[in-house]
Structure 1
Amino acid sequence: MTAKPRGRPRNAQTDTAILEAARDLMAADGYERMTIEAIAARAGVGKQTVYRRWPSKAAIVAEAVMAGHLGIRADAPPRTGDAAADLRTWLGQFFGQLGQPATVAVIRGLAAAATDGGTEAEQLYERFTGPGREQMLDLLRLGVEHGQFRASLDIEAAADAISGTLLYRALIPPSAVVDTDAAGFLDLLLLGMTPRTSPGGTRPERR
């Protein structure tokens, strides 16, 4: 005989209601102020119903991201053969999304959920952060291979600098945001802060 599963099977509609409630609350109040009690009330279920499915709000956020209820539009980078131009276009899309309050709320929630530890942080990296970073590394590597970026470029450090800048822009208050777009940031990253050496051996200053 086949053993019968214990307990009642999970209701997919209840799962969806909880995940959508978490999405709405995080957008409205932020991750820090969101509680399991508030999620349950908004979803129209008991608190224990939520806890039977997920042990913490970090776990709910991780599941909401992986199920597509929370997330940032992360299109694959263009591949025109010009890695520098493709990188500018791709990051320009992300910088543009940082002007949307709902997107900023999602990023802040993801960052907070990732720092809560446990398997949720690993799941978020594997399903969300990691793939985006790999796409960025591939684009930087292509630029090195085509001679657009210097051969000695530390692509891991460059990828971390780009990711860190995007996260920083999402975490700081709107009043502290300066009018810097992706092009200005990439000029600094790709050209560096030191004067460039001219063919004649002089090091002209950029003005």
Structure 2
Amino acid sequence: MSEQRRGAVRSETARRAILEATARLFAARGYDHLTIEGVAHEAGVGKQTIYRWWPSKSALVADCLLEGLLLPNRLGPPDTGDIRADLVTWLDEIFDLVTQPIGESLILSLIAAAAENPDVGRRLYASMGATSALVERFEAAIAASEIRVDAPVQEIGEALMGPLIVRMLSRSPITPGTAERLVDVVLGPVRAGVAPRG
């Protein structure tokens, strides 16, 4: 949830209405055509009510994502028991998403939100950059001896997400095999059996 500002205690009903209105309008119009005035009208609240709780539309969109109203079930990788295949599948899904106009708008709005508001950036990092779901998947891979026991799981997650941000900012094309190459770079060459150390 966004850091609460001074003023009236946030009404959970109004907060939820604002987030749901934002998600609907984002899906229908994209980030560029999303306005605080439009969200206020859709949610049946005053514009100042929104600004009291969120400093910008990018922060509002970020909260929608963090609360699962945008991209439900898209933030974490699957768990089939094959960490490499799971990461490739997950990255391919993300790359497919960001090649679509709404996905590109979403990622760019999240970058803008993090740049203008340190609290949003910290929350996005905690929830997405090296997502808790991703860290859990790496921990399961360690337990199954798929990757070494001392693997730096937080940094692995960051290393996989970093190229996504760079490609979005530079508008670099995503070519076939990109996800597989990234996983190979981050996890190292494929080996027949990786036993835990110690």
Same fold (TM > 0.5): yes
Pick aligned residue for 2:36 from 26, 36, 39: 39
Measured against aligned partners, the alpha-carbon deviations of 1:10-44 in whole angstroms (never above 9, x if no partner) come to: 874963575247626972528xxx6xxx4215654
Which secondary structure state, in structure 2, belongs to the residue aligned with residue 177 of structure 1? coil
Structure 1 segment 40-189 matched on structure 2, within 5 A = 40-41=37-38, 43-44=40-41, 47-71=47-71, 73-74=73-74, 76-126=76-126, 128-129=127-128, 133-173=131-171, 176-180=172-176, 181-189=178-186
Q: Is the 8 A contact 2:27 2:102 kept in 1?
A: no
Q: What residue is the counterpart of 2:187 in the other structure?
A: 190
For 1:61, give the aligned amino acid: V
For residue 188 of structure 1, report the CA deviation from its aligned partner. Answer: 2.6
Q: Is the 8 A contact 1:58 1:113 kept in 2?
A: yes
Which secondary structure state, in structure 1, belongs to the residue aligned with residue 117 of structure 2? coil
| TM-score, with structure 2 as normaliser | 0.65
Q: Percent identity?
A: 29
| TM-score, with structure 1 as normaliser | 0.63
Query: CA distance change for structure 1 residues 172 and 17 in 2, over 3 Å: closer, same or farther?
Result: same
Q: What residue is the counterpart of 1:204 in the other structure?
A: none
> Which 5+ residue runs of structure 2 have no aligned equivalent?
1-7, 192-198
Q: What residue is the counterpart of 1:205 in the other structure?
A: none
Q: Is the 8 A contact 1:54 1:60 kept in 2?
A: yes
For 2:107, give the aligned amino acid: I
Aligned residues: 177
Structure whose alpha-carbon radius of gyration is higher: 1
Q: Is the 8 A contact 1:87 1:139 kept in 2?
A: no
> Which 5+ residue runs of structure 1 have no aligned equivalent?
1-5, 197-207
Q: Is the 8 A contact 1:17 1:43 kept in 2?
A: no
For residue 102 of structure 1, report the CA deviation from its aligned partner. Answer: 0.6
For residue 95 of structure 1, report the CA deviation from its aligned partner. Answer: 2.4
Of stretches 115-124 and 14-23 in structure 1, the one that deviates more from structure 2 is 14-23
For residue 161 of structure 1, report the CA deviation from its aligned partner. Answer: 0.5
Query: CA distance change for structure 1 residues 113 and 151 in 2, over 3 Å: closer, same or farther?
Result: same
